[in-house]
Amino acid sequence: MKEKVFRCKQCGKCCLTTEYADISKEDIELWKKIGRYDLFTPDMLVEWDYFGSSGWFRNQLSTRCPFLRKKKNEDTYYCKIHKIKPLFCRSFPKDKEHAKNFCGCVGYL
């Protein structure tokens, strides 16, 4: 059976569930290219394996990604760096199963 088209409902579950966002070498290269050095300062990254492929966003005050924002007077969320968010985030969800198992994402409903 054909899988339903995915449509993000901006419920925020995926970002609220995860305590980190994996950062790839490609993400860092893109951010450097566009001058967004603020996205990978030592303060922003818990760990960055310079020759490897991963680091994690953190927030000093909570486990929530620092780029997650709640819309004013609405129960929906958005990503402050949506257009340049990490590949890890851009590739979510891979399919319906991934969506359901990761956080109960409602994008296929």
Length of the chain: 109
Mark 64-83 with x for binding to ligand SF4 (rule: CB under 6 A) and - for no binding.
-x-xx----------x-x--
Exactly one of 15, 23, 28, 44 binds ligand SF4 (CB under 6 A); which one?
A: 15
Exactly one of 3, 10, 62, 94 binds ligand SF4 (CB under 6 A); which one?
A: 10
Check: CB of residue 6 under 8 Å from CB of residue 108: yes
- Which residues in 45-84 are b (16+ Cβ under 10 Å) and which e? beeeeeeeeebbbbeeeeebbbbbeeeeeeeebebebeee
User: Contact between 12 and ligand SF4 (CB under 6 A)?
Assistant: yes
Structure tokens at 91: 């590739």
Exactly one of 23, 28, 44, 103 binds ligand SF4 (CB under 6 A); which one?
A: 103
The footprint of ligand SF4 (CB under 6 A) covers 8-15, 18, 21, 65, 67-68, 79, 81, 85-86, 89, 103, 105-107
